[in-house]
Amino acid sequence: MARAVTTQRKALNTALAWLVGLVIFFPILWTILTSFKTEAEAIANPPIILFFDWTLENYGVVQERSNYVRFLWNSVIIAGGSTLLGILIAIPAAWSMAFVPSRRTKDILLWMLSTKMLPAVGVLYPIYLLCIQLGVLDNRIALVVILMLINLPIIVWMLYTYFKEIPGEILEAARMDGAGLKEELLYVLTPMAVPGIASTILLNFILAWNEAFWTLNLTSVDAAPLTAFIASYSSPEGLFFAKLSAASTMAIAPILILGWFSQKQLVRGLTFGAVK
């Protein structure tokens, strides 16, 4: 039984929590606000918080100057492609591990995770070299494959924990009720697995979207996604705060929204089911 708390105490908690929450969120908020300012307002001293002339001008300039849409498109293809490819490969794997486990299933799962622990920098040159040799440096498909491989352990793992939660008795009940393998898949398993698959897709899309080692090192122009696009602002353009903010806002907005949907899965996915 949770104990009743006095209103006063609750108000205090609320105030404190909101304060801390806003402080932590402030850099994002500030970026979003600044993106609507003019460059002069952006560096005004003292800073203007809300009362400025809201303008969309920066968004236009960013798109015009750097062709933002192309980077966005690359990000979508790389993150989406690697996630979908990963899911397609992972579903049968997770499926068989969850429903027809063998003695080695556990070892295989742990080994898969261990590949995730491999430091990227340790294999940077071989991958780089292979990309050159195969002529796929700065190529979207190469990145789709690489990011898929990086996230495959997490995808398999998450799907496995979700599938594992489908109780065996349900499958037996379906068999007793006369469902064959096809009906079992169609009417019982798939509907029960869909939520898990959806959250896995969501989390891995986010991880792939934000990946910033391989995308920075293996792309230059053609395949560069938003991570690389933003990194290019570290040189002088970065001092144009309003434009930097507009570019940043556009890069993070889609993922912030998706992220809010995936909070719960986040814990599970990133701790490999060790914390639920």
Partner 1 sequence: MAPAVFLLLVWMLVPLCMTLWFSLRDYRPLRGGDLGFVGLENFVRFVSSSSFWPAVFTTMLIVGGVLLVSIIFGVLLAMLLDQPMWGQGVVRILVIAPFFVMPTVSALVWKNMFMDPTNGVFAHIWRAFGADPVVWLTDVPILSLIMIVSWQWLPFATLILLTAFQSLDSEQLEAAEMDGAGPLARFFFIALPHLSRAITIVILIQTIFLLAVFAEIFVTTGGAFGTRTLTYLIYQRVLESQNVGLGSAGGVYAIILANIVALFLMRIVGKNLDR
Partner 2 sequence: MGRITLDKVRKAFGEVEVIPPLDLTIEDGEFVVFVGPSGCGKSTLLRLIAGLEDVSGGEIRIDGQDATMVPPAKRGLAMVFQSYALYPHMSVRKNIAFPLRMAGMDAAEQERRVKSAADVLNLTDYLDRRPGQLSGGQRQRVAIGRAIVREPAAFLFDEPLSNLDAALRVGMRLEISELHKRLNTTMIYVTHDQVEAMTMADKIVVLRAGHIEQVGSPLELYRTPRNLFVAGFIGSPKMNLIGGAVASAHDAATIGIRPEHIRVSDEAGDWTGTVGVSEHLGSDTFFHVNCEGIPDPLTVRVGGEVDLHYGDRIHLSPDPEHLHRFDAEGLRLP
- Residues lying near partner 2 in the complex (CB under 8 A): 167, 169-170, 172-179, 183, 187-188, 191-192
| Interaction partner, residue 206 (partner 1, partner 2, none; CB < 5-8 Å by kind) | partner 1
- The answer to whether 153 touches 113, Cβ cutoff 8 Å, is yes
Query: Closer to partner 1 at the Cβ: 21 or 168?
Result: 21
Query: Closer to partner 1 at the Cβ: 174 or 266?
Result: 266
Give the shortest CB-45-to-partner 2 separation in angstroms. Answer: 57
Give the shortest CB-273-to-partner 1 separation in angstroms. Answer: 7
Give the shortest CB-37-to-partner 2 separation in angstroms. Answer: 49
| Interaction partner, residue 129 (partner 2, partner 1, none; CB < 5-8 Å by kind) | partner 1
| Interaction partner, residue 236 (partner 2, partner 1, none; CB < 5-8 Å by kind) | none
- The answer to whether 230 touches 247, Cβ cutoff 8 Å, is yes
Give the shortest CB-266-to-partner 1 separation in angstroms. Answer: 6
Query: Closer to partner 2 at the Cβ: 191 or 236?
Result: 191
CA distance readout (Å), 111 to 31, 97, 118, 147, 164: 41, 13, 11, 18, 18
Cα of 237 vs its chain's centroid, Å? 27
* Three-class secondary structure of residue 91 per DSSP: helix
Query: Closer to partner 1 at the Cβ: 174 or 238?
Result: 238
Query: Closer to partner 2 at the Cβ: 137 or 189?
Result: 189
